[in-house]
Structures are given as C-alpha cells and as structure tokens.
C-alpha cells in the first residue's frame, strides 16, 4: 500500500496548521524559471492525505491514491492562477485495514461512494500572503455538498524544461486546510459535546503536489 508514505508526510507536516502571516504589500510576481501556462498534476509525486481524531486516542491518518488536476500557472500574475482537482473516493488507502473496513467507509454513513464517487476542489480566488504563500479560496464538493474552503498554499519551487526534468517544466505546491466533515453530511460518530468518544468532526488535510506543463 502507498498510504504509509502519505501518512508519514502528513504527520510530519501537519502536526499543527501554521498561521498565515499578514503581507501588506505582496509581490507582484513569483520568482521562478518555470513558464506560465497550463499544467497537469503528476500523480506519481503527489499525495492527498487527511488526519482526524479517533476516540480521543490518536490522530488517524489516511489518504487517496488516485488524484488528478489542472493548474493555470502564471508567475507574473499569481492572483490569476487557478486550480481544479478531482479525487477518486474509492481509492481511499488505509493503513492495515481490518476486513470490511474500506467497504464500511465507502457506504452511505461515510463517503457514500456509490452516489458520490469523486471529491472535487475548484479555486475561486487567490490572495497572496507572502513571497511564496497564498490563501486559496475554492469550492469543495464532498458527498454531493459544495461549500467554500480556504487552502493555505505554498509555492515550493519551479523549473523550466531541461533544468531538473528533461520532459517538461515542473512546479510544486503544498497545501493545508481544515474542514468539518459534518458540514458535508458526514456527521456519524461525531463526539457529543464535552466528550472525545467518537471520530472528530475537524479533518486536517495535507496536500503535496507536483505539476508538469502541457
């Protein structure tokens, strides 16, 4: 299974979601040799993982194996960038799952994958918060419910074709967000007020992505 690597990355990178520093005069452009244009997600070098509190005992981590996406990259005008990502719900990858656990999570009580086989995110606004950071607002669709979500994104680096990858230009981004699963119709098992017995409502999401130019 591939998820242990995603879970380890999540545990290391998402122990606490860092606050975003204010940037009163954000840069007009991003410094990189990667050219503007349309990019596609490289699934071999990307992970989408999440973490949720379990019975007050641990922060259970898992992720998804099949993710696709498109990126409109423009280092000269970062606010004009946009991204769309689709996740195949059935590709949920669990660490050492007991028999039937994956099927249980695919059922109506949890992801309801038969009726809602994909999770989707589409950005609607990009606000720079630093030289390489931005607050990305977008619409997240989960279980057929669409709600606005804010993603704290970091531009890690980018290269033109031939510098690090002879096939195409490449860029990399990290993203962090926190959602409440109950807001998407997945309220089963949320602990009663004052109790930890159950599965937490807050879900921390950690994303590591690489993109190659079309």
The full set of domains in the chain, from first to last, is 3-213 (2.40.128.110)
Q: Considering just the CA atoms, what is the radius of gyration of the chain in Å? A: 18
Decide: 128 and 172 in contact? Cβ < 8 Å. Answer: no
In the 8-state DSSP scheme, what is residue 195? -
DSSP bridge pairs for 82: 72
**How high is the pLDDT of residue 34?**
94
Tell me which residues of the chain have a pLDDT lower than 70. Answer: 1-28
Measure CA 205 to chain center. 6
pLDDT in tens, 110-148: 999 999 999 999 999 999 999 899 999 999 999 999 999
- What is the 3-state secondary structure of 84-97? EEEEEHHHEECCCC
Q: In the prediction, which pLDDT does 16 show?
A: 39
Q: What is the pLDDT of residue 52?
A: 98
How many CB atoms lie under 10 A from the CB of residue 79? 12
pTM: 0.84
Bridge-partner residues for 139, per DSSP? 122, 148
Q: Check residue 22 and give its pLDDT.
A: 36
């Amino acid at each position: 299974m591939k998820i242990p690597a995603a879970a380890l990355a999540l545990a290391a990178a998402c122990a606490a979601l860092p606050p975003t520093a204010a940037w009163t005069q954000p840069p007009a452009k991003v410094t990189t040799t990667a050219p503007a244009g349309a990019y596609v997600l490289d699934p071999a070098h990307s992970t989408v993982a999440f973490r949720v509190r379990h019975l007050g005992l641990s922060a259970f981590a898992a992720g998804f194996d099949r993710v696709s996406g498109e990126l409109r990259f423009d280092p000269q005008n970062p606010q004009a960038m946009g991204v769309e990502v689709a996740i195949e719900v059935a590709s949920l990858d669990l660490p050492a799952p007991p028999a039937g656990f994956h099927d249980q999570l695919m059922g109506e009580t949890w992801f309801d994958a038969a009726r809602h086989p994909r999770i989707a995110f589409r950005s609607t606004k990009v606000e720079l918060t630093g030289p390489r950071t931005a607050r990305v607002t977008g619409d997240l669709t989960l279980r057929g419910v669409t709600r606005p979500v804010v993603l704290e994104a970091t531009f890690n680096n980018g290269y033109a074709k031939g510098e690090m990858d002879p096939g195409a230009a490449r860029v990399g981004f990290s993203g962090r967000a926190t959602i409440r699963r109950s807001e998407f119709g997945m309220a089963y098992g949320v602990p009663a007020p004052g109790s930890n017995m159950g599965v937490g409502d807050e879900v921390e999401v950690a994303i590591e992505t690489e993109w190659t130019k079309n």
